[in-house]
Amino acid sequence: MMESGIPLCSTCGEPVGFSSSSSDEVFVACPSCNYPLCRSCLEEEIREDRESCLRCGEPYVHAGGKDSLKDLESVEHVTMASRLQDDEDGGVHARNLSNLSMTESELNDVYGNPIWKNRVQSWKEKKIKKNADKKALKKTQVPLEQQMEAKESQEAGKPFSAIIPISLICEVWFAFSWVLDQFPKWSPICRETYIDTLSARYEMEGESCMLASVDFFVSTVDPLKEPPLVTANTVLSILAVDYPVEKVSCYVSDDGAAMLTFEAMAETAEFATKWVPFCKKYLIEPRAPEFYFSQKFDYLKDKVQPSFVKERRAMKRDYEEYKVRINALVAKAQKTPEDGWVMQDGTPWPGNNTRDHPGMIQVFLGHSGAHDIEGNELPRLVYVSREKRPGYQHHKKAGAMNALVRVSAVLTNAPYILNLDCDHYVNNSKAVREAMCFMMDPQVGRHLCYIQFPQRFDGIDRSDRYANRNIVFFDVNMKGLDGIQGPVYVGTGCVFNRQALYGYGPPSLPALPKSSFCSWCCSCCCCCPSKNASKDKNESFKDSRREDLNAAIFNLREIDNYDEYERSMLISQMSFEKSFGLSSVFIESTLMENGGLPESVNSSTLIKEAIHVISCGYEEKTEWGKEIGWIYGSVTEDILTGFKMHCRGWRSIYCMPLRPAFKGSAPINLSDRLHQVLRWALGSVEIFLSRHCPLWYGYGGGRLKWLQRLAYINTIVYPFTSLPLIAYCSLPAICLLTGKFIIPTLSNVASMLFLGLFISIILTSVLELRWSGVGVEDWWRNEQFWVIGGVSAHLFAVFQGFLKMLAGVDTNFTVTAKASDDADFGELYVFKWTTLLIPPTTLIVLNIVGVVAGFSDALNSGYEAWGPLFGKVFFSLWVILHLYPFLKGLMGRQNRTPTIVVLWSVLLASVFSLLWVKIDPFISNTDDSSSSQGCNSIDC
């Protein structure tokens, strides 16, 4: 029985005993802290080279090194047989019971730390040290020759390759894409226009207006998908624009040859005779009637004329009647007659077969007698439907826009062109004047190919769940590009210099002397031209032809002073017909830098010539779509068209008036938004795989600035970020399911570098938000949808682009529309099935399963597993937080998700988990052979 007052050993639990010098003094191993340790445990500590106190670190008072233990080894050292005998007698020391029952012998020190774990660790270290000593001793006994042979054999066994973790590849790509995204933001600028100065210079009283003419282009295809009322509002806003009426022409391209669109334009022309004078009289904004009458504001603000209320009420009534007529046309068009549509005069509609019909042109306004109710002239309104025949490639929207370029050149030939989508209306009636402040500037205008306005949208929910406004792109990236060589062309809301669309270069190109041209013409007319003349010809056109860019033609300054005969010679000798097609009227119009119709043109034959230039075979064996007009080869023809212009040396400007110039409608439901992003990403992949890829196109001319090239590279490689993004969104769940962690232990230097990089990225983002005026909420929505679109639309675009460009397989992802009963933002909650929904849903399910598995493992493993768990769960929750708008859109207001989406997602998540998770991932693997043999010694 233990004597009273004697402490127990902290290691074995037995009484520490008495000192050897006195039987009345308790044995003390450490006089500094009186750490309770018996003589046997102290001697064992000294044998294992631990001569300092476990509590305070001071040397033990009885520690004399291993030499002092030689006299005690004969007494203290016991064999396994003697220990077993002691076990039988019941006198075994508590230290020796550890091999039999670890749980019973594990005690804690005064700090609560388990002593057993420290002992096990020290025993392992001792075993490793002993093995190292044995190997060193063995090495000294081996002859030098054998040691060299062994070393060579070890070097010969080294591997020839190494495995790079996938996380490293993803990090390299993310770093590359981030750097690409930063280059265009180095020199952002903001611009201010002075419309009054423009009017004072070009609209002086008593003189004719000197403002340049503008041709508006509006394109539409299917009136059942693009409502005629929306297109009509766009046309009405154009006809009522604050610009001289004789300088405005509106061309509507009906690429579907629908009689519904034709009749809607006829009704619109009639209603415009009332709407246009009303807008100009009372300075209405916006001048699209649907959006003006639907605004909730005090419409009497700043109005001083008493007649305004009466006329506004009458105009609203007229517009409601106009809407009824348009809706009646739409209801009639829902069912196509068996014999096809018939016009009012009884003749069949020429476009009954949308794939095989002649070209159609109808001038509704702008001819004699087209005046409003007050007798004022109205802008020109022209309906155009290009010819289509089987066996011809029509190139969709790009082909329709090129047809409008040729028609407008024959009929009006304005020097500037403004194109709008059918769902974008003029929100600022002075938008054209804003653009002319740049285009007509003598210092800047001659070098501009286009003026790009930002896109703004109506009808988006307040939180902008799917980042339809795209604020970060339009208010950050585009401003940055404006400081380099100009913003990219985004497809709508853009004012073009017509000469840039024709493939001409800017005035900075070297001019061709007239004498050189005359001598070349003489040499060509001679029967036997001399070799010197041929050589002079080649040298004369070497700089202006720009062979490396395959440009269609040369600088217009070369022909400013030519007479009619020289022009005709130039057209034939310079192969203009091979570039522009067989139309002398159109070719003559291309040579007029300031626009207008040639004096030699017979006005009675213009319509016939316009029908000719929109024939389906007109572009055969020409440069249309290659170097002239909208460029073919991608569904995003806008980026490709702007890129070609910048390669020729043109620059563009970004114009952001205080009142948005144009507004449009955005697809606000999840499925339509993803398909829109898919189309954009697919176009970028197509450009990447084409000859126009910015990585290798246009170096010879040296006219594209390097930062501008990097910006275009960024616009075509961003879909490939979807591959590492998928990996990074999956890794957190994998870590939770497998018990591993993707973040390695960082050293102090690496931690500082990582922290510095992280802080610099945060500061860069803060600076961008400050100078651009973008809010944190808009920035966060952009980040969320970058992840949503990256793991769905961008991923599909990469695979679809490679299938289309390399294997010729064109995969279409169809969407099935469903109705919605919600009145406010009802389209937001419409669910449309598409395969694009499967990858994000799979990632959400996978991460939720990983979080649940991680918490379950932590509950089973004890407190030590909770520390790493929080790091893993943080990354999974970060992924789920980015995908939250997708999850909310997937569930909808009624919280119902199609069963097919859930089944596919759960199936993919299950298969993915089984590939990564072992049978029991939460128990470390052990060596069955070693465990089955048993262990009787701590050093075994």
Binding residues for Mn(2+): 397, 421
Q: Are 188 and 480 in contact (CB under 8 A)?
A: yes
Q: Which of 365, 336, 381 is nearest to 231 (CA)?
A: 381
DSSP one-letter code for 135: H
User: Cβ atoms within 10 A of the Cβ of 398, count?
Assistant: 23
Helices (H), 541-592: 542-545, 564-573, 576-580, 584-590
Here the contacts of 856-859 (C-beta below 8 Å, separation 24 or greater) are: 857/736, 857/739, 857/922
At 302, list the tokens: 């700043």
Report the SS3 class of residue 149.
helix
Residues that are catalytic: 255, 638
Taking the C-alpha atoms of residue 330 and residue 267, their distance in angstroms, rounded to an integer, is 13
Taking the C-alpha atoms of residue 20 and residue 22, their distance in angstroms, rounded to an integer, is 6
Which class for 693: exposed (0-12), middle (13-18), buried (19 or more C-beta within 10 A)? middle
Taking the C-alpha atoms of residue 891 and residue 146, their distance in angstroms, rounded to an integer, is 72
Binding site residues for UDP-alpha-D-glucose, as ranges? 219, 225-226, 255, 396
Torsion angle of the four alpha carbons 579, 585, 586, 592, in this order, in degrees rounded to the nearest 10: 100
For tokens 């476009």, what's the residue? Answer: 351
Binding site residues, as ranges? 219, 225-226, 255, 396-397, 421
Taking the C-alpha atoms of residue 650 and residue 519, their distance in angstroms, rounded to an integer, is 30
The secondary structure element, H or E, covering residue 727 is helix 722-738
Q: Which of 398, 385, 419 is nearest to 611 (CA)?
A: 385
How many helices and strands, by DSSP H and E, does the chain display? 36, 11
Q: Which of 908, 780, 918, 921 is nearest to 844 (CA)?
A: 908
Taking the C-alpha atoms of residue 447 and residue 517, their distance in angstroms, rounded to an integer, is 25
Got the DSSP string for 234-255? HHHHHHT-SS-GGGEEEEEEET
Helices (H), 773-810: 776-790, 793-806
Here the contacts of 442-447 (C-beta below 8 Å, separation 24 or greater) are: 444/653, 446/506, 446/507, 447/506, 447/507, 447/508, 447/650, 447/651
Taking the C-alpha atoms of residue 547 and residue 541, their distance in angstroms, rounded to an integer, is 10
DSSP one-letter code for 364: E
